[in-house]
Amino acid sequence: MREQHPVYLQLRQQLLLWIEQKQLDSQDKLPAERELAQHFNTTRVTLRQALSQLEAEGRVYRSNRRGWFITPPRIAYDPSIDVGFYQYVKDQGMVPRTKTISRNLVETPAWLAEKTQLALGEAVYQFVRRRYVNERAVLIEHNYISSASCPGLLDKNTDHSLWQILRDDYQLNPAERAIEIYPQAILAEQAELLNISQGSAGLYLERQSSDQHGNFLEFDQEYWIHDALKLVVNIARTE
């Protein structure tokens, strides 16, 4: 006897077919949950289970107080290539945007001193920025940058590329980078800034960069929503 799938998984399949028939595209908004539940003759509990399954698969996403939307294509990121956020988003035919949430001169905390060349208590710039792709907020970024190497950086317009400012205004180029990437739930601070639920699936990216002189340049923490990014690495064959 053939095993019957749970009701919410059956509804998931029906929702996918309905989305295809309606030809809904990137970031199109779904009808309200009540309307969808009535259309599919189901309860809102079962509907939310089905939508949550599609969300886990990266097919739809929920924005708090705004509803459900069709997930846009993922941004392809190759960590082996020295290209900034603005460039690789534009190269894929999408529109990047950055909003600086806060900027401060702070003392290097113990955890950052352990990870970098910075001395405990040394003055360092801290930026918190929200970054968008096609006006969808996709990540929160925490940047720590050497204040000794970049006097006056707090007065610059950082709603664009920090690396471009470092190159153009300070003649500093990221020469070496160490990168770590792993799945991590998005917790309260980042979730609020991204307007998503605390504990949502996410991707954490940590990058430490040195300049062309071998000195510490930047420590970057990125908290991505799980369905916005995919890692792509091209490896050339060597003899």
Q: What pLDDT score does 83 carry?
A: 81
Q: What pLDDT score does 229 carry?
A: 93
pLDDT tens sequence across 118-157 = 999 999 999 999 999 999 999 999 999 999 999 999 999 9
How many whole angstroms from its chain centre is CA 189? 14
* Class for the domain spanning 7-70: mainly alpha
- Cβ–Cβ under 8 Å, residues 27 and 69: yes
β-strand partners of 177:
209
Q: What pLDDT score does 184 carry?
A: 95
Please tell me the distance from the alpha carbon of residue 98 to that of residue 130, in angstroms, as a whole number: 6
Which H helix or E strand runs over 218? strand 216-225
Q: What pLDDT score does 183 carry?
A: 95
| Tally of CB atoms within 10 A around 104 | 10
- Cβ–Cβ under 8 Å, residues 138 and 229: yes
Q: What pLDDT score does 169 carry?
A: 95
Domain 75-231 has CATH 3.40.50.1370: no
Q: What pLDDT score does 239 carry?
A: 64
pLDDT tens sequence across 77-130 = 988 787 889 999 999 999 999 999 999 999 999 999 999 989 999 999 999 999
Q: What pLDDT score does 114 carry?
A: 94
Q: Which part of the chain has CATH 3.40.1410.10?
A: 75-231
β-strand partners of 98:
131
- Cβ–Cβ under 8 Å, residues 168 and 160: no
Please tell me the distance from the alpha carbon of residue 65 to that of residue 63, in angstroms, as a whole number: 6
Q: What pLDDT score does 3 carry?
A: 55
Which H helix or E strand runs over 121? none
| More confident call, 102 vs 163 | 102
Q: What pLDDT score does 175 carry?
A: 83
- Cβ–Cβ under 8 Å, residues 124 and 112: yes
Q: What pLDDT score does 1 carry?
A: 42
For the stretch 161-177, what's the b/e string if a residue is b when 16 or more beta carbons lie within 10 angstroms of its beta carbon? bbbebbeeebebebeee
Tell whether the model's pLDDT for residue 237 goes beyond 90.
no
Residue with tokens 């029906």: 14
Q: What pLDDT score does 176 carry?
A: 87
Provide mean pLDDT across the span 208-237: 90
190 CB burial (10 A radius; 0-12, 13-18, 19+):
buried
pLDDT tens sequence across 173-198 = 888 889 999 999 999 999 999 999 89
Please tell me the distance from the alpha carbon of residue 226 to that of residue 177, in angstroms, as a whole number: 23
Half-sphere exposure of 170 (CA within 13 A, CB side): 22
pLDDT tens sequence across 62-72 = 988 889 999 99
Which pTM value belongs to this model?
Answer: 0.89
Question: Average per-residue pLDDT in the chain?
Answer: 92
Provide mean pLDDT across the span 154-180: 92
Please tell me the distance from the alpha carbon of residue 178 to that of residue 213, in angstroms, as a whole number: 16
Q: What pLDDT score does 192 carry?
A: 94
Q: Which part of the chain has CATH 1.10.10.10?
A: 7-70
pLDDT tens sequence across 195-214 = 998 999 999 999 999 999 99
Which token pair is 125?
Answer: 């710039």
- Cβ–Cβ under 8 Å, residues 63 and 98: no
Q: What number of helices (H) and strands (E) belong to the chain?
A: 7, 10
- State the maximum Cα–Cα separation within the chain, in Å, rounded to a whole number: 73
